[in-house]
Structure 1
Amino acid sequence: MAQRELVCPEEMAHLVERFNYAPAVKVGQMVYAAGQVGRDSEMNVIDSSLEDHITAAWENVGKVLAAAGCGYEDIVEMTTFHVDLQEQLPTFLAVKDKFIPRQDVPPAWTAIGITELTFPGQLVEIKVIACVPDAA
């Protein structure tokens, strides 16, 4: 069995205990990050605007990636879940482009429309797979 390593930013440690949940699992150089949503560290849903909600979800993805030793540019695949996909898509794309740099080979992406997420008020969830870059 491959060696698995829990990846958990300090501010998400309470989630590991509360939900028996790993923000990410690292296997070799691959990082499998659980879906991140638009919430703060106290689990309060960001509800000021759709843009703020999506931005918070991407920021949470970034915290998990950083804890694993990589960044947005290391994402190789992403799956996004949207309550009202068609309504969200223009805003999601605009926010995503602020976090995911333009690359010759962008991440593979699947966007899925859904009816609800874990907690009321959550609108989008972003799940990624990343590859930790080779050490220089």
Structure 2
Amino acid sequence: MATLDVFHHNVPAESDFGYSQAIRSGELIHVSGQLSLDEAGTFVYAHDFTAQLKQTYANMDKVLDHYTVSRKQVISQTLYGVDLRRNAAATADGNLAYFGDHRPVSTVLGISELTFPGQVIEISCIFDTRLPA
């Protein structure tokens, strides 16, 4: 029987909504939508797309650190953004800064709202640990 390696940031939303931040199943790591939460699990940077994007990727890095994987092992990214047309340049800049020359597949969706008031971005990813770090 296979076992799952589950990761939590240990923030209240995980128990309030009943989810894990990430689950490793075999060679793949599936990461829930990361967002702009601080260490205490408080939503931060309401309505500030660039600051939320930076914090969201910082939270993604915590998941990478837990599983000792690198950004180069991301095979798929899904980004959900509010007012995406206005934030297209910030989305592109943040994505390029985070991934450098690595190019995972990416789906970017413009949506009307997210969970927290003032939340404008959320990102989920899939990692493949068989890829070179």
Q: In structure 2, what is the equivalent of residue 89 of structure 1?
A: 88
Local SS of the residue matching 1:13? coil
Which string of whole-angstrom CA distances, capped at 9 and with x for unpartnered residues, describes residues 35-60 of structure 1?
01122123232238421111001111
- Structure having the higher helix fraction is 1
The separation in 1 between residues aligned to 2:77 and 2:18, in whole angstroms, is: 23
Matches within 5 A, 1:56-135: 56-103=55-102, 106-133=103-130
Gaps of 5+ in 2: none
Local SS of the residue matching 2:94? helix
Task: Check whether the contact 2:73–2:131 (CA below 8 A) recurs between aligned residues.
Answer: no
Gaps of 5+ in 1: none
**Alpha-carbon RMSD:** 2.2
The separation in 2 between residues aligned to 1:128 and 1:134, in whole angstroms, is: 15
Q: In structure 1, what is the equivalent of residue 17 of structure 2?
A: 19
Amino acid at match of 2:74: I
Of stretches 55-64 and 39-48 in structure 1, the one that deviates more from structure 2 is 39-48
| Seq. identity, % | 25
Local SS of the residue matching 1:86? coil
Structure 2 length-normalised TM: 0.87
Correspondence for 2:26 among 28, 32, 35: 28
Structure 1 length-normalised TM: 0.85
Which string of whole-angstrom CA distances, capped at 9 and with x for unpartnered residues, describes residues 77-114 of structure 1?
000001011111100111111111203xx201000111
Q: CA deviation at 1:133?
A: 4.4
